[in-house]
């Protein structure tokens, strides 16, 4: 497919783990694209036009056609640009990849994000920490190879960037250690391998700015009590 | 070698219904097993140890959980007839987006209508539910089906909830036909299709089941 005939744009935010997933996939495939940093407090006309349903990032715009929801975008990227596949070719293996990515979103991401938002509710917070630990435990047991994708990173690894990079950040901000190397040796080893992958390394946001951004958000939640 | 296909399901589950429709569309013979959710079978616990929930599709001993993932699996494996997803990648992304929207919105918001008797929660739920249906109505547009000329992935994702409409309307105090007539006409068009009609239980039966559930949950 002639790259010079295509226009690929990614509406995103450098702080978002969901946007990060898409960036990793695009870079893995060597796709050239334009990144548009969205100010989520003042949503641009473009964002509202391309994602009227959720008004959120990431949105991939390919030749003026928008795709939203990070896992939907990942599948689109894999089907459109065939080099360096991120999903397996076998239908059953693809099913497993989709299952575990959904599990990460529904169980791990959801509960860990709530750990931040329940700062003012001790009981709710404890419940979300417990849920995060339980879900991480299930994922820890599932990891059999170097990566979820086998010898190479794949769909689930990319989806799990939240665990590798954002969960340690949540721990530092809240002071709650629930994703420890003692409890999760395999996931910790996986995290290190994943974050050291040449493409991933280049595409995760600078930790300091991310920390400052989320800490400010966290402090404002505490202050609003 | 003949395929062995088993569906672990629970008759009023809209998620189970999705898989039933997909299997019927493809003409796949399978064994249907209705689970007692208060007494889950060893097979269910073995096949879905993570969530311990129905539906689970079991193909030659390999389990597939999560209804939309199972429908995609069916489409990819039995790819010789009745495609459920479009063939172009943008069409597929579009279908996945809307099926995911149905997943996120219909069941969750619907809970606010029947799973409570708190007036305030129900009122808020009613407003949100109508907004969701109107957005889906907009997406449908003038097409006979979300899939275009034929039943597709989004239709399969959404039509099972039609069996819950009587419950949503009664407990949520709303009239879906009045608010979203196109959704009703779409639903009636879908249930004329054999693979759909033979996969969906009667609305009244589902309603009675929900009445029972509310009693068991202690909601008046």
How many Å apart are CA B127 and CA B161, to the nearest integer?
Answer: 18
Lowest mean pLDDT among A56-65, A69-78, A108-117, B109-118: B109-118
Closest CA to A138 of A102, A171, A169, A114: A102
pLDDT recorded at residue A85: 97
Please work out, in degrees rounded to the nearest 5, the angle formed at the alpha carbon of residue B101 by the alpha carbons of A147 and B160.
110
Reported as a single tens digit per residue, the pLDDT across A87-136 is 999 999 999 999 999 999 999 999 999 999 998 999 999 999 999 999 99
Q: Which range is least confidently modeled, A149-163, A209-223, B154-168, B193-207?
A: A209-223
CA atoms of B38 and B44, how far apart (whole Å): 12
The partner residue sitting opposite A80, judged by closest CB among B73, B77, B89, is B89
What share of chain A has pLDDT > 70, as a percent?
98
Q: Which of A160, A217, A210, A214 is closest to A190 using CA atoms?
A: A160
- Confirm if B201 and B170 have CB atoms less than 8 A apart: no
Mean pLDDT computed over A7-21: 97
For chain A, which residues make up each domain, given as ranges? 8-80, 91-223
pLDDT at A40: 87
The matching CATH number, chosen from 1.50.40.10, 3.40.50.300, 1.10.760.10, 1.20.1050.10, for A91-223 is 1.20.1050.10
Q: What is the pLDDT of residue B102?
A: 97
Report how far residue B27's alpha carbon sits from residue B80's, in angstroms, rounded to the nearest whole number.
Answer: 11
Would you state the pLDDT for residue B2? 79
Is the CB of A95 less than 8 angstroms away from the CB of B89? no
Residue A5: predicted pLDDT: 59
Range name among A164-168, B80-84, B91-95, B216-220 with the lowest pLDDT average: B216-220
Q: How far apart (Å, rounded) are the C-alpha atoms in residues A204 and A196?
A: 11
All residues of chain A having their beta carbon less than 8 Å from the beta carbon of residue B70 are 95
Q: How far apart are CA A100 and CA B50, in angstroms?
A: 10
- Residue B61 contacts A, CB cutoff 8 Å: no
Average per-residue pLDDT in chain B? Answer: 96
Position A2 confidence tier, pLDDT thresholds 50, 70, 90: low
Chain B residue with Cα closest to A69: B97
Distance in angstroms (rounded) separating the CA atoms of residues A16 and A18? 5
Backbone φ and ψ for A13, nearest 5 degrees, come out as -140, 135
ipTM: 0.96
The answer to pTM > 0.90 is yes
Is residue B213 classed exposed, middle or buried when 0-12, 13-18 and 19+ CB atoms within 10 A define those classes?
A: middle
List the CATH code of the domain at A8-80: 3.40.30.10
């Amino acid at each position: 497919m002639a790259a010079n005939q295509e226009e690929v744009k990614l509406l995103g935010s450098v702080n978002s783990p969901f946007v990060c997933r898409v960036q990793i996939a695009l870079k893995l495939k060597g796709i050239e694209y334009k990144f548009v940093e969205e100010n989520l407090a003042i949503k641009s006309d473009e964002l509202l036009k391309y994602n009227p349903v959720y008004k959120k990032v990431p949105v991939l715009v390919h030749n003026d056609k928008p795709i939203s929801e990070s896992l939907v975008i990942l599948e689109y990227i894999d089907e459109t640009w065939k080099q360096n596949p991120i999903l397996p070719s076998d239908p059953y293996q693809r099913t497993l990849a989709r299952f575990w990515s959904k599990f990460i979103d529904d169980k791990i991401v959801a509960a860990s994000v709530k750990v931040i938002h329940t700062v003012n509710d001790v009981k709710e917070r404890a419940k979300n920490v417990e849920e995060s630990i339980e879900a991480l435990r299930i994922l820890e047991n599932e990891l059999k190879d170097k990566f979820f994708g086998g010898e190479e990173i794949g769909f689930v690894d990319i989806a799990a960037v939240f665990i590798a990079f954002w969960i340690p950040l949540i721990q530092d901000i809240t002071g709650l250690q629930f994703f420890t190397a003692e409890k999760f040796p395999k996931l910790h080893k996986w995290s290190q391998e994943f974050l050291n992958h040449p493409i991933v390394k280049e595409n995760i946001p600078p930790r300091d700015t991310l920390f400052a951004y989320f800490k400010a958000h966290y402090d404002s939640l505490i202050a609003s009590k | 070698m003949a395929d062995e296909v088993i569906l672990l399901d629970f008759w009023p589950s809209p998620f189970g219904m999705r898989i039933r429709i997909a299997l019927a569309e493809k003409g796949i013979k399978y064994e249907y097993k209705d689970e007692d959710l208060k007494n889950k079978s060893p097979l269910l616990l073995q096949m879905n140890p993570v969530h311990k929930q129905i539906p689970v599709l079991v193909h030659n001993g390999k389990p597939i959980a999560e209804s939309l993932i199972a429908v995609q699996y069916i489409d990819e494996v039995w790819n010789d007839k009745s495609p459920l997803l479009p063939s172009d990648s943008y069409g597929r992304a579009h279908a996945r987006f809307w099926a995911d929207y149905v997943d996120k919105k219909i069941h969750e918001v619907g809970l606010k209508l029947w799973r409570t008797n708190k007036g305030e929660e129900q009122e808020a739920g009613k407003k949100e539910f109508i907004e969701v249906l109107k957005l889906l109505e907009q997406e449908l547009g003038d097409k006979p089906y979300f899939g275009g000329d034929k039943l597709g992935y989004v239709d399969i994702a959404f039509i099972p909830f039609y069996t819950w409409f009587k419950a949503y309307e009664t407990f949520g105090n709303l009239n879906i036909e009045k608010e979203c007539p196109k959704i009703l006409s779409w639903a009636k068009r879908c249930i004329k299709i054999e693979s759909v009609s033979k996969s969906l239980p009667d609305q009244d039966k589902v309603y009675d089941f929900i009445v029972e559930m509310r009693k068991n949950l202690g909601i008046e």
